[in-house]
Structure 1
């Protein structure tokens, strides 16, 4: 069997963000036969503008994103909550990946959403908005692969996500569910 490729997209552009650390832990947790790679460069992608989305004129960063999403078997989004909703960088990814309309790279792509924030709400508002945007864009959201991490400032004050056994178990479970979702979408 070939390697299952999961592309992780981190909504926080900050290098040391908890969401980035969760993505790194997920990559380390992937079982044999599954590769989780973190997409770099979300901050380099211009805001979606239909005037830029013209054959031969699409910005290189957007073209690279679309190709990476198309090449992945599934997507794993790590979503912080900015002012009660999805971060602009991640919404921008969804916008670029949903085009051209009806046949964008995200169409039918099995996708899971992991949310994390300092609040006890665990970025559930951002999660809901992300799932809504993904659904409208045509992604196949795998709700069983959802994990919410709340109070991350306290939870990971002493140890990073990759050092927390409960976090590792939750991320491993999400990846297993996402892989199951890949098989279900393919069937």
Structure 2
């Protein structure tokens, strides 16, 4: 069984990216188990003063443990003002530590998502890939997924009912599984 932790860069319950993450969970191939991490909103802003043994917030310990337990990571994110949403950047900061022992180190990871604009959030995705790669993840840059015009495209259709979304999710998950097997 390959386990994939899904991080959603939007806190809004009905966000398109949350729906895409739920679609990925629903369309996981046999032998792959996806779980959406529900605790990103609980992470305090990263502060190195509290990121010391005995003072690390429980939310950060739980988050790092979830990353450690997963075989791979799928990040599904919108774009906020042309870049990574603050909640996702904060999560990356917590996951990048402790320095030299990040739970992300070597972990296969894909960044995907959708945004209202004509490029589908590629700026946020590129920024997330950069930060996650610096944090030590094995970012699969050849596996991409961006859907532009999300507000209009998904106004009347849930991503789970969009054949292109389902197909792209299957490609992404196939890439993650192949990277886990190759490791």
Per the normalisation by structure 1, the TM-score is 0.96
> After superposition, what is the alpha-carbon deviation per residue over 1:122-165, rounded to whole angstroms, capped at 9, x for unaligned?
11110110011011101000123210110011111121001111
CA distance in 2, matches of 1:165, 1:124: 21
Partner of 2:34: 36
CA distance in 2, matches of 1:86, 1:31: 28
Q: Is the 8 A contact 2:3 2:70 kept in 1?
A: yes
Q: CA deviation at 1:183?
A: 2.1
SS of the equivalent of 2:48 reads coil
CA distance in 2, matches of 1:97, 1:103: 10
Instruction: Give the gaps of 5 or more residues in structure 1.
Output: none
SS of the equivalent of 1:144 reads coil
Segments of 4+ moved more than 4 angstroms: none
Partner of 1:109: 107
Per the normalisation by structure 2, the TM-score is 0.98
Partner of 1:143: 141
Instruction: Give the gaps of 5 or more residues in structure 2.
Output: none
Aligned residues: CA RMSD? 0.8
Count of aligned residue pairs for this structure pair: 183
Q: Is the 8 A contact 1:145 1:175 kept in 2?
A: no
